[in-house]
């Protein structure tokens, strides 16, 4: 009886060992969990082409994920996003199939979300190296950088000019004839 149980457990263990690669998944790099769309803005040139290709509209964000060293030529990513809206929307779960082999032994996934979401996590159904968030692209005008008001700049310029005047006069007074 004991031998039969041991043999059954060994067979079951062998079955799990063989089935393991078929059930393998890769989980998102933990450093990328909690990232909002504005934390990893993509290069303008990269984003320009991606925004057009994936038809990202104003107020939407394109998230680009990369799985390195995949075990297959395609895969599926499941990404979960949380909402920063007030009041918060429900979590958004996006499944994107057929990741594209794009460059040097990697799979690439592109997901579009509304702008008020942040990344909570992602997994793939394909075994591989690392699953990373490469970058995000905002589908709209670039964020505006507010200009400093003239009322603030005027006192700064006046103090600078006064300081320069005092330094010049101090040097003139210290010259010995």
Entry pTM:
0.62
Q: What integer pLDDT is reported at residue 85 of this predicted model? A: 81
Residue 29: domain span: 25-139
Q: What pLDDT was estimated at residue 78? A: 92
DSSP letter for 31, please. Answer: G
Question: Residues 2-43: pLDDT tens digits?
Answer: 444 333 333 334 333 333 333 445 788 887 787 776 666 666
Residue 49 within any structural domain of the chain: yes
Residue 66 is encoded by which pair of tokens?
């990369």
In a domain, 108, yes or no: yes
Task: Assess if residue 177 is contained within a domain.
Answer: no
Q: Is residue 88 part of a domain?
A: yes
163 lies in some domain: no
Tell me: the pLDDT tens digits for 104-137?
Answer: 688 889 999 988 889 999 999 989 899 999 888 8
Instruction: Identify whether 17 is part of a domain.
Output: no
Residue 169, classed as helix, strand or coil, is: helix
Helices (H) and strands (E) in the chain, counts: 3, 8
Whose tokens are 């690392």? That residue is 130
Question: Which pLDDT does position 16 carry in this prediction?
Answer: 33
Counted domains in the chain: 1
Note whether residue 71 is domain-resident: yes
| Beta sheet of 117-124, edge-to-edge order | 26-27, 117-124, 77-83, 92-96
- Residue 57 in any domain: the answer is yes
């Amino acid at each position: 009886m004991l031998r039969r149980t041991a043999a059954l457990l060994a067979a079951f263990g062998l079955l799990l060992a063989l089935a393991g690669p078929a059930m393998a998944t890769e989980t998102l790099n933990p450093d990328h969990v909690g990232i909002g769309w504005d934390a990893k803005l993509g290069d303008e040139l990269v984003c320009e082409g991606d925004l057009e290709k994936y038809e990202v509209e104003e107020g939407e964000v394109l998230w680009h994920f990369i799985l390195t060293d995949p075990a297959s030529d395609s895969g599926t990513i499941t990404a979960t996003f949380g909402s920063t809206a007030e009041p918060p929307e429900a979590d958004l779960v996006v499944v994107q199939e057929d990741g594209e082999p794009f460059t040097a032994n990697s799979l690439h996934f592109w997901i579009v979300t509304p702008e008020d979401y942040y990344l909570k996590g992602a997994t793939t159904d394909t075994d591989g190296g690392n699953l990373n968030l490469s970058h995000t692209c905002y589908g709209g005008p670039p964020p505006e950088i507010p200009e400093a008001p003239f009322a603030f700049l005027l006192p700064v310029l006046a103090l600078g000019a006064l300081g320069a005047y005092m330094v010049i006069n101090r040097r003139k007074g210290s010259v010995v004839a």
